[in-house]
Amino acid sequence: MNLIKKIFAVVLFLSVASACTTMNSVPLSNYTVFTEDLRRDLETANIPLGKVQFFNDKGINIRREVSDPNDIKVNPEGQITMSNGKSIQTINVLPFTPGVSLGSDNGSIFVSWDDTQQDTKGMKFNLSGQNYFLDILPNNKFEYKDRTFDLQGGNGSRLFVKKDLLKQVKNSRETLKGRKVNQ
Instruction: Give per-10-residue mean pLDDT for the chain (183 aa).
Output: 62 52 56 93 90 93 78 66 70 93 95 88 95 94 89 93 70 71 79
Rounded Cα–Cα distance for residues 73 and 44 (Å): 58
What is the pLDDT at residue 147? 86
Cα torsion angle, 19, 94, 154, 30, sign:
positive
Residue 136: the pLDDT is 93
- The residues, ordered by sequence, that sit 6+ positions from 160 with a Cβ below 8 Å of its Cβ are 26, 31, 32, 33, 34, 54, 55, 56, 57, 96
pLDDT score at 71: 63
pLDDT of residue 108: 96
Measured between alpha carbons, how far is 146 from 122 in angstroms, rounded to an integer?
10
CA distance 30 to 162: 6
Output the pLDDT for position 27.
55
Indicate the burial class of 110 (C-beta count within 10 angstroms; 0-12, 13-18, 19 or more): buried
Tell me how far apart the alpha carbons of residues 52 and 70 are, in angstroms, rounded to a whole number: 42
Give Cα separations from 141 to 47, 62, 93, 99, 155 (angstroms): 33, 9, 16, 21, 10
According to the model, what pLDDT value does residue 122 have?
A: 92
Q: Give pTM, 2 decimals.
A: 0.68
